[in-house]
Amino acid sequence: MVAMDGKKVTVTYTDEFGIWQHLEMDFRQHLPLRNLRWQSAKGPVRNIPNLGVELKRFITETTERSHMLPETLPYLNLYFVNCDDNETYRQIVKNQIRDWLNIAESRRNQEWLIVYVTKQENFRNPARYFNMKGTVFDKIKADFNITKRDRCVQLRLSENETEDYEAWQELISKIKEGILYSFDQYVKQYEEDIRKSDSQRSMIGWNYCTFFILKEGLALTFEIMNIFEDALVQYDELEASFFQVLKDRALAWFGSFGATDPNDDSANIIDVKKKQYRDLIMQNTIPEFDFRCYLFARQCQLLGRLHKPVEICRRAQIFISTFSRAIKEHQANVGEYFLESWIFSSCMSVVNECEELAPLTSMDSPNTIAFNAAKGELLDLARKQLDKIGIYYNHLPASLPFTTSLSDTIPTSPNEARKKFDITNKELEEAINSQNDFDVLYLSLTNRALRAYEGSARLRSVLRLQGDVAALHFHRKQYEDAVQVMEDIPWRYGEQGWTVVENNLLFKFAACQKELGQNRSYVGSCLSLLKNYSLLTNEEIAFYADEVKKLCGVLEKGEEINRQFKPIFAISVSSIVDDIGDEDGPNLSVELTNNLSTSFTFDQLAIRLVSGQSEEIWFGVCKEEIKPGLNSYKLYSDNSASGNYFVENVRMSIGKVTFTHNFLNESKKKSFRINEHPSVLRAQIIPPCEIHIGESQYFLVRIFTGLSHVDEGILALEATSDGLSFPKSDKYHSITKTVIDEKISEEKVSEQDLEVFEDGKIRIPSSQSNQLIEFQVPYDCNWGAIEHKVKISVEYKSKGKLRVFTSVDTINVWLPISVNELNIFRDDCLFLKMDITLQGTVPVRILKTDLVPSKVYDVADNPSLTLPSLNLFGKQHASYVYKLTRSKDYHGEEKSAGTQIHFVVVYRSLQDEIEKYVEHTLNTILKSRNLFQHSQFLIENAKEHLLKSVDYVSYGMTDVLDLGELDIAQCESLFTTHGAAKEALVDVVKEFWKTSNQISEEEIMLISNDLKSSISFPVNVPSSKVLNTVELIISKSHDFIVGEPCHCRLIVRHSSYWNHVSTDAKDTFEFFYDVHVDFDNWLLAGHKKLCFTSKVGETKEFPITLVPLKTGHLLVPFVRVASLNSHIFSETVYLNNAEQILVRPRTQSATFFIEQQHRIHSIHSGAGFGGPGHHHNEGMENVEF
C-alpha cells in the first residue's frame, strides 16, 4: 500500500576506534530484534514479535524540530570501545566516553550503552592475570556504571561459533532492554503531556492542533515499536475528539474547508505524503478537507499494517458516505461534480490498495466473503457516480434504472450557469469525452462489482447490476447482448418480490426478443408481464394478451411453454357428480377466474384426480371461452374406477402454452368419492377357489360386463408388489358364463382362447351384457409372501365410445391351514395320520376331507368326511387316519410310476361366510333405496372398519353373530366425501345393524353355504425296499421273577411288500439289529448289536437273554433293524412296541424255631428270661416270604 513501508527504531553508534566496519555485518545479521515484551503501566503485556532497527552514526547537533518528529529520535546510543591498555584508557578513552555521555544524557528519554569489544585470545592472555590493576572493561564499569542499571557490556569476538553466538546474545539482550526502557519513557512523557493538554481543553487559548500533534506523537511511538493496535486507538480517539469539536463548531484552528487544490478530486485518499499535512497542522492552517483525509489515511495505514483489508473497506465506505455530506454543503465552493469525482477516485484507490494487500493476508472463507462484500459495495458506490455523470453528459438516459443513483435535486444541464470545475481523474475525463470510453469504463467497473458480489453471495446486488448492464445494452440498441444478460434476471427479480424492477426489465426484454424474432421467448416475456397485471394499464394488458394469442398457435413443435395458473388465472373444483345411473360417467364442476381484462379460448382443460393406490382419473373439456371474471365448466371422464380421490393438478392448453396448477400444494386438499355404477364393466383378480400345493400357482381374473355391450377390449395386468411377476403366455383359456338375477347360469357356458399381445396385454372378445368372463393367470413370486397387489386395467369400446376401467386389487395368498403327516408301517398296510392345524387367528370350518389314491397305493375303506362340519380354532388340530394298501393292479413293472397321493381339505373361513352375508344384506338394502352405486364403497368399508369388533372365535363357538354396538361417529366419518348421500348411507348401516345383530349361524348359512375353498396337499409315501418285521418271543410259561433270566428269541422277517419296484429274490442284503436296553430295568445277555445277511422273504432268529432288575410293569426293550448300505431304505415294524411285562418279587422258604410262651402269673417271681418260673414248649413254624 501507499506509504505503508514500516517505520524503524533509530539506534545510533559512535566508533572512534574504527571497529564498526568489522562489526556491522555481524550486527545486522541479528536484526530485526525478536520477541520483545513491554509491560504497559495501564494495560497487559505487549508482545512484539519483531522490531526493525535503523542504525545511524551519532551526531552531536540537534535540529530545532527534532523533538516534534518521534520517528527521527534515537531510542538507544551505542559507544564502541576497543582498548587494551589501561594507560591509554586513563589518558584518552575515558575523556572521550565522558564527552559522548554528556551529550547523550542531555537528550531526554534516550538510553545509552557502552560496548567493550575484544577478541577471545586477548581475553585468554595469561598476562592479564598478572595485571593487578584490572582490565580496561573493569575500569569502564567502575567509572560509568554509577546507577543500578548496567549500561556496560563486553563483546568477545571468537572463532568458535557457539561462544561467538553467546557473546552477541548478551549484547542483543542489552540493546532490547535499552530500547524498551527508552520507549517506556517516551510513552510516559507523551501520556503526561496529553493529559495536561486535555485538562486545559476548556481554557482560553487551548489549541486542538497542538493536542493532535501530541496524540499523534504517541501513536507514532507505538507504530515505531510495531504496536499497531495501540497506535490505531490513538487515531480513533482523535477522530472522536474531532467530531466533538465539529459538533461544538470550534473550528478556529482550521483554515477554509479546502478541496480547492489541484487533483483534490482524484488523489489517492490513502496517500499520507501527497501533502505536508503535519506542517499544516502545526501551523494551524490545515483545511478541514485535508485534515479529515489525513486522519482517515493514517487509520488505513495502520489497518494495513495489521493486515485488515476488510476493515479498511468498511471504514472507507463509512468515511466516504459521511464526509460526502460535508462536501455537499460546500458544493458552491468546490464546484459541481467535484463530489462525484472525489467519491469515484476515493473508492477506486481504496479498492486497488486493498486488492494488493489481500493476497498478503491469510483469510479464511468468512473473511473472504466479507472482503468481497465490502469491496463490492465500494465498487458499486463508484459505479453510481458514473450514472450521475453519464446522465449529466447525455451518455445515459434519464430513466430507470440509471436514475436510482440520482439525488432528489435534478442536476443542471451543461448549458446552465454553474461554478467552473474540471474533473482531474483521467479515467473520468476520458469517459466524459467519449461515449465508447464511458461504456468501457462502466462495464468494466460493473463487472468488477459483480464478481465481488458473487464472491459474497449477494444475489440481489448481482441481479441489480446485471439489470443495469442489460439496460445499457438496450439503450445502445445492442439487443443480442441485452438478451444474453437478461436471460434469467427478470425471473429472479420476481422470486425476490421486486415486481416493479422485474416489469421494467421485462418491457426491455420483450422488446429485444421481438426485434430479434425470438417468438417463444417473446411469448414467455409477455406472459411474465401479464403475471404482474396490477402494474399494467388496460391498454398494455390488451396488447400483450393479443401478442400471446397471436403467437401461441404458430410456435413450432418442441417450443411448448409451461406456466402456473396463478396469478393470471385461479381455479377450484366445486363438486363431483357420479350417481347419474347410466354409462355417461362422473363429471366435475369447475370454477375458473380470469383476472385479466381480456378473454381467451382454451383448447383443452383437464383435471387429474389420484387415489392412495396409484390410481388416476382424468376429467376434461375442450374449446371453451375464458371471459374476464368468473367462469363455470363441467368436465367429463370416460374412466371407471371407484375410490376416494384427491384433486391433484389441472392443465389448460392455449395453443402451445400450457397453464398448470398443483392442488396438493395447497394447505387444504380437496377429496371426492367416485363410485363406479353397477351397470358398467368391472374386472377383478382374486385367488382361485382350488389350490394345489406343489403345482404352478395362478390367479383368477373375472370380467363382468354389466349392462355394457363390449365391442372389443384390452386387459392389462401390472404387478405392484415386489417379487411378483406374470410369465408371458401365448394364450389364455377363458370360460364365459351368463349372469341372470345376480346368479351365474351354468347352462349358457362358452369357452375360447384369449389372444396375448407382445407387450403382455390380453385381448377381450366381443361380449354381450351380463356376461362373466373367467380365465386363470399363472404367476411367480418370492417365497413367504402373504399378499400381493395387482393393478388391473381394461380399455374397451362400448357403443363406439372408448372407456377405461382401472382397479388395484389386494390378493391374499396366505394359507389358513397347514398339514402334518405320520406314517405307521405294517406288513400288509400303512396307516397315514394327517393333522390339520390353524395358521392364523380366524377359525375355519372344515367341510370335507379326502385322500386321493395314486397308481401304486389304494386307500382302504376311504372315509370321506360326510359328517357335519368341524370348526377348527387356534391351538387346536384335527386328526384323520387313513389305511393304505398296495394297489392290486400294480406289479412294479414301471419304475416311474407315481407314488404321490393327495390330501384334499374343503373348508370355509368364518370371516368369509360373515362377509358374504354382510355383502348380500347391504346390497339388498341399497337396492331398495336406489343407492346401489355406493355398494362397492360401503361393503369395502364395512369389512375394514365396521366389522373390526366381530369376535370370530365367539361366533364359531356359539353360532351367533354379535356385531356389538354401532359406532355412529365412525360411521358418519366414512361418508364425509359423499355429500347429500351421507345421511342415506348412514341410515343403511343402521338398518343393517338392527336386522343383523345377534343373527344365528343358520340364517347366515342360507346365503354363505355355497362358499367353499379347497387345498390339495401332496403326500409322499416313503418307499421301503425292505420291510423288517421284528418280534421278541419270550419263552416263559410262568410269571417273571426279578433277577431270574428270561430266554428270548428275536425273530426278524424280511419283506419287499412296500417296494414299488420289483426286487430279485436272490438279492442278499446286509443288516444289523440293535437292542435298546434300559439298563436300570434290564440286564442283557447276548449280542446287543449284531450284523447279519438276509434275503427277501427269509426269516432270521437270534437268541437273547433278559434279566429283570425291578418289579412292576416293565417295557420290553425296543429292537431296531437297519441296513448297512446307506442306499437301501428299510423300515422296521416292531410287534412288541409298547408291550409291558409284569415282574414279581422273588419268594423263599425258611424254618424258624419259636418258643411257646405262657402267661406269667407273677412278674416278680423268677430271675429273668428263661429262668425259673418261665415255662415254654418247643415247637416249629414254617414261614414263607
Higher pLDDT, 197 or 127: 197
Q: Angle at Cα 1086 formed by Cα 1082 and Cα 1092, nearest 5°?
A: 125
Rounded Cα–Cα distance for residues 1097 and 196 (Å): 139
- Quick one: pLDDT at residue 1182? 42
DSSP 8-class letter at 68: G
Q: Of the spans 352-361, 1096-1105, 1153-1162, 1175-1184, which averages the highest pLDDT?
A: 1096-1105
- What is the CA angle 960-965-970, rounded to 5? 130
The yes-or-no verdict on residue 1171 having pLDDT over 50 is no
Q: Are strands 74-81 and 111-119 parallel, antiparallel or unpaired?
A: parallel
Residue 1172 has pLDDT above 50, yes or no: no
Which of 1114, 1109, 1129, 1105 has the alpha carbon at shortest distance from 1032?
Answer: 1105
Least confident of 370-374, 475-479, 485-489, 758-762: 485-489
Q: How confident is the model at residue 148 (pLDDT cuts 50, 70, 90)?
A: confident
Q: What is the pLDDT of residue 1138?
A: 86
**Assigned C-alpha cell, 1125:** 448300505
What SS3 class is residue 283?
coil
Confidence band of 125 (pLDDT split at 50, 70, 90): low
pLDDT band at 347 (very low <50, low <70, confident <90, very high): very high
The answer to whether the pTM exceeds 0.75 is no
Q: Are 11 and 53 in contact (CB under 8 A)?
A: yes
Distance, first Cα to last Cα, the chain: 133
Which CATH architecture group holds 1023-1143?
A: Sandwich (2.60)
pLDDT in tens, 420-471: 567 888 888 888 888 999 989 999 999 999 999 988 888 888 888 888 888 8
- Domain spanning 561-674: CATH 1.20.1270.360: no
Dihedral angle, C-alpha 207, 208, 214, 218, nearest 10 °? 170
pLDDT in tens, 683-732: 889 888 889 988 888 899 998 888 788 888 999 998 888 888 888 888 88
* pLDDT for the residue 892: 58
Summarize pLDDT for 216-227 with one digit per residue, the tens.
Answer: 999 999 999 999
pLDDT tens, position by position, 833-878 = 999 999 888 999 999 888 888 877 788 765 554 567 889 998 888 9
Distance of CA 518 to CAs 509, 510, 556, 600, 1162, Å? Answer: 11, 9, 12, 23, 155
Domain ranges of the chain: 9-201, 561-674, 682-812, 835-1021, 1023-1143, 1149-1184
The predicted-structure confidence for 1015-1029, as pLDDT tens digits, reads as follows 999 988 776 667 888
Q: How far apart are CA 133 and CA 722, in angstroms?
A: 111
Q: In whole angstroms, how far apart are CA 1146 and each of 318, 691, 1106, 1185? A: 126, 65, 16, 9
Q: What's the grid cell of residue 485?
A: 444478460
pLDDT mean over 412-426: 60
- pLDDT of amino acid 976: 76
Instruction: List pLDDT tens digits, range 742-780.
Output: 677 777 788 888 888 988 899 988 888 888 899 999 988
pLDDT > 90? residue 77: yes
**Rounded CA separation 1179/422 (Å):** 171
pLDDT tens for 1159-1169 read 444 444 444 43
Burial environment of residue 402 by CB neighbours within 10 A (0 to 12, 13 to 18, 19 or more): buried
DSSP string, 758-776: TTS-EEEPPB-TTEEEEEE
Model pLDDT, residue 412: 47
The least confident of 36-45, 362-371, 514-523, 966-975 is 362-371
pLDDT band at 65 (very low <50, low <70, confident <90, very high): very low
What pLDDT is stored for residue 418 in this prediction? 47
Task: Find out whether 1008 and 915 touch, Cβ atoms under 8 Å.
Answer: no
Given a contact cutoff of 8 angstroms between Cβ atoms, the answer to whether 1064 and 1114 are in contact is no
- 1185 has a pLDDT exceeding 50: no
Proportion of the chain above pLDDT 90, given as a percent: 21
pLDDT tier at 295, thresholds 50, 70, 90:
very high
How many helices (H) and strands (E) in the chain? 28, 52
Bridging pattern class, strands 1176-1177 and 1156-1157: antiparallel
CA 482 to CA 475: how far, in whole Å? 9
Report the pLDDT averaged over residues 1095-1118: 90
What confidence score (pLDDT) does residue 317 get?
93
Rg (CA), the chain: 59
Is 70 exceeded by the pLDDT of residue 518?
yes
User: In the structure grid, which three cell numbers stand for residue 679, read together?
Assistant: 351397470
pLDDT of 673 above 90: no
Nearest to 144 by CA among 181, 105, 191: 105
Residue 23 has pLDDT above 80, yes or no: yes
pLDDT of residue 377: 93
Question: 513 pLDDT exceeds 50?
Answer: yes
Please name the fold of domain 9-201: Rossmann fold (3.40.50)
Check residues 370 and 945 and name the one with the higher pLDDT: 370
What three-state secondary structure class fits 411? Answer: coil
What are the backbone dihedrals phi and psi of residue 373, each rounded to the nearest 5 degrees, phi first? -65, -45
What whole-number distance in Å separates Cα of residue 103 and Cα of residue 406?
A: 65
Which pLDDT value is given to residue 613? Answer: 58
What is the rounded average pLDDT for all residues in the chain?
Answer: 82
Under a CB-based contact definition with an 8 Å cutoff, are residues 748 and 737 in contact? yes
Look at residue 891 in the predicted model and tell me its pLDDT: 61
Distances from the Cα of 814 to the Cαs of 786, 838, 840, in angstroms? 5, 12, 9
Which residues, other chains included, contact 440 with Cβ-Cβ below 8 Å and sequence gap of 6+?
A: none
Burial of 397 per CB tally in 10 Å (0-12, 13-18, 19+):
middle
Q: What is the pLDDT of residue 610?
A: 85
Looking at residue 243, what is its pLDDT?
Answer: 84
For 682-812, CATH gives 2.60.40.740
Two domains, one topology: 561-674 and 682-812 = yes
